[in-house]
Structure 1
Amino acid sequence: MTVALVPAAGRGERLGSAGPKAMVFLHGLPLVAHAVRGLLAAGCVRHVVVAAPSSHQAEMIAALSAFDRVSVVPGGADRTASVRLALHAALEHVPDARIVLVHDAARAFTPPALVRSVTEAVAAGAPAVIPVLPVTDTVKRVDGAGVVLDTPDRTHLRAVQTPQGFDVDVLRRAYEAASGTVATDDAGLVERIGVPVHTVPGDVAAMKITTPFDLAVAEAVFAP
C-alpha cells in the first residue's frame, strides 16, 4: 500500500501570490489539484494527504473536492512539521501502508509514470528513492562575498525532484530523529540516519513552478 503526502502550506510570494503557492491557478485548476491528479493517475497511490495552511483549509478542501481518497489537514509552521502531520494522518487512513511518497505541489505536472517509477523502486527493496536529473549547467562554489572558491565536477551532481519515496518505517525514523530540524528535502533527513538513498531517472516535466517565469513556461508547455 502506498500513501502520498503533499505539503502545501508554503507561501507564493515569489509567484506574486498573496496566498499559498499551491493555490495559484493554472489552466483552470490550482497547482495542488494538478499535483494530486497526477499522483492518483499513477494508479499506485491509495490515499493522498495534503497539509494546508490553517487559514486556507476550506479553500483547499473545496479545490480538491472532486477527488476521492484525498484528505486535507492543517499544516505546521514549516515544511518539516507539515510532512510530519501529514504522515500521521496518512497512516490513520491507511494503517497498513508500506510506502510513503512526499511530493511538492509546485511540481504540478509530474508524469504519473515517474510516480510509478519511484514507487516500484521502493517496492523492489530500496529504502529511499529520489528522481534526479543530471546537472547541465556549470556549478561554482562561492564564499560569503561571492568570490568563486572552486568548480565542482558536475559529473556526479544531480538535481533532485519529487515525489521522493520511502519505506514507511525509514521515513518515520528519519522524522523522529529530526526533532527541531527544518528541512527542505526529506531524503536529506534519511541520509542523516545512515540509510542509503537510491535514484531513478527524473523527468523534465516534473519542473518546479516557483517564479512567474516558471508559471509562464508551464502554462505554455502543459496547455490542455
Structure 2
Amino acid sequence: MYDDSRPERPAPPTRPERPHRTAAVIPAAGRGVRLGPGAPKALRALGGTPMLIHAVRAMARSRAVSLVVVVAPSDGAAEVKNLLDEHALPDRTDILVVPGGDTRQESVRAGLDALPEDVTSVLIHDAARPLVPVDTVDAVVEAVREGAPAVVPALPLADTVKEVEPAGRPGAPEPVVATPERSRLRAVQTPQGFDRATLVRAHETIAVNGEGATDDAGMVEKLGVTVMVVPGHEEAFKVTRPLDLVLAEAVLARRRATDVY
C-alpha cells in the first residue's frame, strides 16, 4: 500500500513576548487659576511639600512604574527639575522632566514623545491628584497588562446629575433637558492607563480645538476602542479649589498620624 504520509513539520519557533514596561506621564504645565493667585497648581504646597512631588511619589510607589515623565511649563522645566532634585524620590524609578505646550493635550503629547522605545504601557496622571493610593495605580497597570487597551479608575456618583441647556450669562437659571440614570454614571479619576500604541494613535489622529483634550480616555473612545473601568478611590480626588486643598491636608495628616504615608 502506498503511504503518502509525511513527517510533521516542526512548529515554528514562538516569538518571545515583549516584556512589559510601564511609564507614567504627569502633565504639570497648567496654571490652576481656580486655586487663586500664586504659584502654578502643581507647585502649591500640601503638608509643606509641593503637590507635584506627592503626585510623582504616588506613581513611583508602584513597582510596576519604572519611569515618571513630568511635563513642566515651557519656561519652567529647569525650575521643576531643581524642585524634584531637592526631594527624596524612590531610587528604582527614573525621573525625566520635559517642557510642555500651551494645552494639556500638547503637554501629554510632549510626554509621550519623550518615552523610550521599550515602554509598552503608559499612565497619564493629574498632578492635582496627589493622594491617589498605590493600590489604585497597580489596579490600572494590571488591567492594561492583561490586555485592556485603555483603563480608567472611577467611582459611582453620590449625587443625581442633571443635563441642562447652558445659560447665556453666569448665574442665570438653566432649564433641565435630561436626567441621566445615575447607576450607569461614573466619576473618572487618574491615573488613566493605556497600551502605548493605542494612546499614541489617538493623539496622532484625534484633533481637538480650543483648550485641547482634557481626558485622554475620551480621545481613545473616538477611535472606537473600548475603555474599561476599574474601582477608583475616594482619596484620589482632584485638588482644584481652596476647599479641596483643606480636605487634602486633612487626608495627609491622617495618613501621617497612622504611618500609612
Give the TM-score of the pair, scaled to structure 2. 0.82
Aligned partner of 2:16 in structure 1 is none
Aligned partner of 1:178 in structure 2 is 206
Shift, 1:180, TM fit: 4.7
Higher Rg of the two aligned structures: 2
Alignment partner of 1:14 is 2:39: no
Aligned partner of 1:85 in structure 2 is 110
3-state secondary structure, aligned to 1:183: coil
Aligned partner of 2:238 in structure 1 is 208
CA distance in 1, matches of 2:78, 2:118: 29
Which residues of structure 2 form unaligned runs of 5+? Answer: 1-20, 168-173, 257-261
Greater Cα offset, 30-39 or 176-185? 176-185
Alignment partner of 1:41 is 2:67: no
Aligned partner of 1:157 in structure 2 is 185
Aligned partner of 2:147 in structure 1 is 125
Counterpart amino acid of residue 63 in structure 2: G
Counterpart amino acid of residue 192 in structure 1: K
CA distance in 1, matches of 2:25, 2:114: 9
Paired positions, count: 221
Q: Counting helix residues as a fraction of each chain, which structure ranks higher? A: 1
What's the CA shift string for 1:159-195, capped at 9, x where partnerless? 0000000001100110001245410000000000111
Structure 1 residue aligned with 2:165, among 135, 143, 147? 143
Q: Where do 1:26-37 residues align within 5 Å?
A: 26-37=46-57
Is residue 20–residue 53 contact of structure 1 (8 Å, CA) maintained in 2? no
CA distance in 2, matches of 1:2, 1:172: 14
What's the CA shift string for 1:187-214, capped at 9, x where partnerless? 0000001111001000001010000000
Alignment partner of 1:57 is 2:41: no
- Extract structure 1 runs of 4+ deviating beyond 6 A: none
Give the TM-score of the pair, scaled to structure 1. 0.95
Counterpart amino acid of residue 84 in structure 1: R
The percent of aligned pairs where both chains have the same amino acid is: 52
